Amino acid sequence: MFVVIEGIEGSGKSTLHKGLVERLSTEGRDVVVTREPGGTATGDAIRSIFLDRTLTIDPLTETFLVNAARAQHVAEVIRPALDANRLVLCDRFTDSTLAYQGYGRGLDLASLQRLCDEATGGVTADLVLLIDLPVDVARARMQARSYVLDRIESQDAAFHERVRRGYLELAKSPRHRVLDGTLAQDRLLEEAWNFISTS
Ligand code: TMP
């Protein structure tokens, strides 16, 4: 089973991811934990270019970068794990490309979908947990962490609003479950866990 967690920055994705990994391990589930962009040595090298705030990167270049990392990720990590019937828990996948490069940057969604399909070779998530919350709440959380924002985090609020709206559009598909990101961490974990265990 392939489970993906999605959401804007500051949505609590990483905390939920960590909580789910602990829960799955406690339950004795064989889980492969990974993320995008990244998940492989090649993907992590691409990630550091992708997030480098000193670089100016064209939206189409962004798209190729994340999909280059994704092709490697699917080939090296995700497909072998799914073939071995392992549970894969991935922080971001193709929805991020549709939300950020599509709704956020304004690239054509159908073209992005084709490129993602090429990169994944048809591997799709069985379940996507989307953590949704208002952009101003997410940004306040990020600012409270007081670290230097990366290239995407430092985009303006309008960009992040478009990404959030895009995610909500994508979440109309039956593979998606929307979680309320303003909930306390333990409630969020409980809801996510229920979705996973009943899928
Ligand atoms: P994060 O995993 O720490 O949230 O950082 C990854 C960043 O990369 C995040 O800002 C979203 C962005 N991103 C895209 O723009 N497109 C993609 O396809 C992926 C996977 C991530």
Residue 161: the pLDDT is: 98
Longest Cα–Cα distance in the chain: 44
Provide the pLDDT confidence category of residue 51 given band limits of 50, 70 and 90: very high
Nearest CA to ligand 1 atom 16: 97
Give the number of other Cβ atoms within 10 Å of residue 124's Cβ: 13
Residue 144: the pLDDT is: 85
Whether 156 maps to a domain, the answer reads: yes
Q: How many domains does the chain have?
A: 1
Average pLDDT of the chain is 96
Q: Distance between CA atoms of 68 and 70, rounded to whole angstroms? A: 5
pLDDT at 179 over 80: yes
Q: The domain that contains 181 carries what CATH number? A: 3.40.50.300
pLDDT in tens, 116-126: 999 999 999 99
Residue numbers of the domain that contains 104: 2-35+79-197
Residue 143: the pLDDT is: 84
pLDDT at 146 over 80: no
pLDDT in tens, 108-118: 999 999 999 99
Whether 88 maps to a domain, the answer reads: yes
Whether 54 maps to a domain, the answer reads: no
Give yes or no for a contact between 67 and 116, defined as CB atoms under 8 angstroms apart: yes
Whether 142 maps to a domain, the answer reads: yes
pTM value is 0.97
Give yes or no for a contact between 16 and 5, defined as CB atoms under 8 angstroms apart: yes
Whether 144 maps to a domain, the answer reads: yes
Whether 67 maps to a domain, the answer reads: no
Whether 72 maps to a domain, the answer reads: no
pLDDT in tens, 18-39: 999 999 999 999 999 999 999 9
Take residue 69 and report the two structure tokens written for it: 């990392």
Nearest CA to ligand 1 atom 13: 96
Report the separation in Å between the CA atom of 50 and the middle of ligand 1, taken as the mean of its atom positions.
9
Nearest CA to ligand 1 atom 18: 97
Whether 40 maps to a domain, the answer reads: no
Residue 98: the pLDDT is: 98
- Residues in contact with ligand 1 by the CB-under-6-Å rule are 9, 35-37, 66, 91-92, 96-97, 100-101, 152-153
